[in-house]
Chain A
Amino acid sequence: MRKGFLYTAILVCLASVSLAADANSDANLRSDASLSSTVFSGDQSDGSRAVPIHIMPLIDDEGGKIIPDVEPILPFSTRLTCGACHDYEKINHGWHFNAAEPNIAPGRVGQPWIFVDAGTATQIPLSYRNWPGAFRPESVGLTSWKFVQLFGRQMPGGGIGEIESSNPDEIVRGEISGKLEINCMTCHDGDPAHNQAEFGDQILRQNLRWAAAATCSFASVVGKTRDMRNSYDPFMPQPLPMDDPKAIAPAVIYRKGTFDQKNQVFFDIVRKMPSERCYFCHSNYDVGEDKPGKWAADEDVHLAAGLTCVDCHRNGLEHDITRGYDGETKFSGNPLSAVSSCQSCHNEGRLGAPEPKHLGIPPIHFDKLTCTACHSGPKPESQTIRTKTARAHGLGTYNVNKSDDALPHIIYPVFAKQADGKIGTHKLVWPSFWGALKDNEVTPIEIETVRRTVGAALLQTEPNQAERNMVDGWPALTLEDITKGLTALGKEIQGPVYVAGGKVYSLDVSGKLSEQLDNPAAKPYLWPIAHDVRPRAQSLGAGTCQDCHSTDSGFFFADVEVDVPVASEKGIRKMVEFEELSSVYTKLFAWSFVFRPWLKVIAIGASAILAAVLLLYALKGLDFLIKMLADRK
């Protein structure tokens, strides 16, 4: 009897526990479902084309409403302020933010971030995207924290800016500085006083939490988190340590009159942002003595015609912006990617795009060349030129190095064969870095190790020389310096190598410098460009076939600079190498165009005679027919 009661009690207990667990899991599921199906009011369009007026309270990243006179006055958090009405998480997976996500298809090769360390003669393309030729930032020892410190200046925040570092010290600093949230205003601020340069400046000060606010015209930020001790709490400002009198705690000051009577703030938000917003991160500037200033250079023909960047590069809430290349549909979920390439717009006549006639251009050109090969970038001359880009050189940020030879050295236009087999216009950078060779694979060495070993070795200059000269932006190195650097590096790692100018330098068993030419790690990194697009009349082939098919045309025979820190190793490569064409064949083919006018004369003459003979005998035949009919009559 007792036993039976005991068993029944146990069974009842088990059943109730099981039921409770089920109920709990149902509740969790419901909670997940309700979370995933949350509809943000700002993401549901009522169909109006007018831009909603954005007057709203500012929310700090603790979730508190910011009220002007209530201390501590904190910067607003876009995650909570903008995210109150818009799906921040969904936006954070958009193309501008998702580079570090492992499951995102990399798509066509794009511009990398280029890590530069002049002291160790390093210039290396990096990307979180799996683009061939680009190295992972971790390979040179860049944690997400350091990566943001270096390149956050030209990022819109979010993505990698919100990933916690794996380094314990950086985790502590990250607690103080906050996360680099998406700065929605980077693109959507219609206020002409928006200052994106502040974003980079605040990142350098480690004021990540303050960065977005600092770019807005109604807020200014003082102080540096960088100067604060690890014990500093930005939410509980405390007296500053006496041992650092110059340090100023980070603080935001909202301009007088920013808040209305309800303590709400007006944001001048635009859906269709002006191209100047895009230019902050997507500018380039050709350098060289004979290059005109930016004021003298013509703008992209699309912009000159009145379009803006976002007319073609569009996205919905997902912020999966179209990049605009052929075949993008394979990688993008954006339905507009199918109709946003040059071809699709110009063949369909979207946005008034003129239909290309391509008078006199044999159709085989369209199988072998991209549209950009003839229409984009500067016209090819006898030599490639150097250019600076916003992302590589920090154009538009404070205290930027304006010298023409500032690293990294980006070379263009380079006409090269792409993955799809077509020749397109590219920018190029020659990787220069210290690495380790194992099984013929070169991996970069963490920059701190390189600085400690190679950097120290390279600092040892001639006895009468205070410091190493800089030539063309690089430290003036010799092959002996490379040997010295490799010897120093070899004390710490196995198989030290230096990669530069397309070669891999290493030391043989006797300690002599040797070089290897065909290692994939040494290959130049090229990425296709689309802009600036030149008008039809200035395109290649608009003049004559000899725009390209001449014995000295830049398209095939230009000298492509081989950029390398060692002066004796500087050189050139011919454009045809990048086009993967035979130089003999290309030269012979170009020569054939010298005789093209003769061919035309001969063929037209022959056609005229053939036509005359045919006509003559046709008339004779007619004559015969008429006479025959007359005879019968």
Chain B
Amino acid sequence: MFRTVSIIAFLVTFAGIGICCLVLPRCRQCGWTPSAILKRAIHIFTMLLLEQKAGAVGIIRKLAYLLALVCFVVLAVTSFFPVLVLKESINGYWLMLHATFAPVFAIALTALVILWAGSYHFNSRTEAGKYELPQKICFWLIVSLALPMVLSIILSMFTFFGTEGQEFLLNTHRYCALLLSLVAIIYTYLIIRNHMERQ
């Protein structure tokens, strides 16, 4: 069930993004060539390696962002690859990697939220024009989904819930993670699009 839902959800999301790129006039102007997309993606993942004009807080913000991004990629691969490709539940080394990166992701995400929340305030005036409404919605969706995602898996480690409760918590964790992944993909797309538009 979860596998089917996940596959459909990912396909719909990527298809939606593809349609956006091809159909919306605003997006078409960006010149969505594979090399341009790759260039933006590399830019996102190598922010710290570029010449830094930001102050200490800015560096921490970027660091938190990159750490969260790397952890997110690892967590997504270690959780969705076994389920979607290998058709098995997450276990073995996948699970160990997943559990190793999970607390790092939790710390990075928390730092990110603390450092970036002000910029993503819906009534924010200081950063006006930098982040658009869809990005802000994505940001707060990520934060809102991260909370039940983290809590559900941590609660399952305590002896509060029986088998049914455990299954509910596991499903909560899975579906929150799926939604969070989809939102994160859309968020990344929006950031890339923003960068390309500005250029």
Contact = CB atoms under 8 A, between A and B. Distances in A.
Interface of A: 356-364, 366-367, 585, 588-589, 592, 596, 598-600, 602-607, 609-611, 613-614, 617, 620-621, 624
Contacts of B167: 363
B141 to A, nearest CB: 11
Contacts of A600: 154, 157-158
Contacts of B144: 614
Contact of A360 (B95, B107, B158): B158
Contacts of A610: 109-110, 113, 143, 146-147, 150
A585 B161 contact: no
Nearest to A582: B92
A58 B110 CA distance: 86
Contact of A606 (B106, B140, B159): B106
Given A607-B151, A617-B117, 8 more contacts: A359-B161, A599-B102, A602-B107, A605-B110, A607-B154, A609-B114, A614-B143, A614-B147
A617 B93 contact: no
A305 to B, nearest CB: 21
A584 to B, nearest CB: 10
Interface residues of B, number: 40
29 contacts: A359-B159, A360-B156, A360-B157, A360-B159, A361-B166, A362-B156, A362-B166, A362-B170, A363-B170, A367-B89, A585-B92, A588-B96, A592-B99, A596-B157, A599-B154, A600-B157, A603-B102, A603-B150, A603-B151, A603-B154, A606-B106, A606-B109, A606-B110, A607-B147, A607-B150, A610-B113, A610-B146, A617-B121, A624-B123
Contacts, number: 98
Contacts of A609: 110, 113-114
Interface in B133-164: 140, 143-144, 146-147, 150-151, 153-154, 156-163
A130 to B, nearest CB: 32
A613 B121 contact: no
Contacts of B162: 356-359
Contacts of A599: 99, 102-103, 154, 157
B122 interface: yes
Contact of A604 (B91, B143, B154): B154
Interface string B41-79: 000000000000000000000000000000000000000
Given A602-B103, A603-B153, A606-B109, A366 B122 contact: no
B160 A359 contact: yes
Interface residue SS majority, chain B: helix
B111 to A, nearest CB: 9
Contacts of B29: none
Contacts of B91: 364
A596 to B, nearest CB: 7
A604 B143 CA distance: 15
B112 to A, nearest CB: 10
Contacts of A613: 113-114, 117, 143
A546 to B, nearest CB: 12
B99 A364 contact: no
Contacts of B146: 610
Contacts of B147: 607, 610-611, 614
B92 A363 contact: no
B117 A360 contact: no
A367 B90 CA distance: 13
B180 to A, nearest CB: 12
Contacts of B117: 613, 617
Contact of B107 (A357, A606, A617): A606
A604 B156 CA distance: 12
Given A359-B160, A610-B109, A592 B92 contact: no
Contacts of A367: 89
Contacts of B163: 356-358, 361, 363, 366
Contacts of A617: 117, 121, 140
Interface in B3-60: none
A603 B121 contact: no
The 5 A-B pairs at the shortest CB distance, nearest first, are namely A360-B159, A606-B106, A357-B162, A359-B159, A603-B154
Nearest to A627: B123
Contacts of A359: 159-162
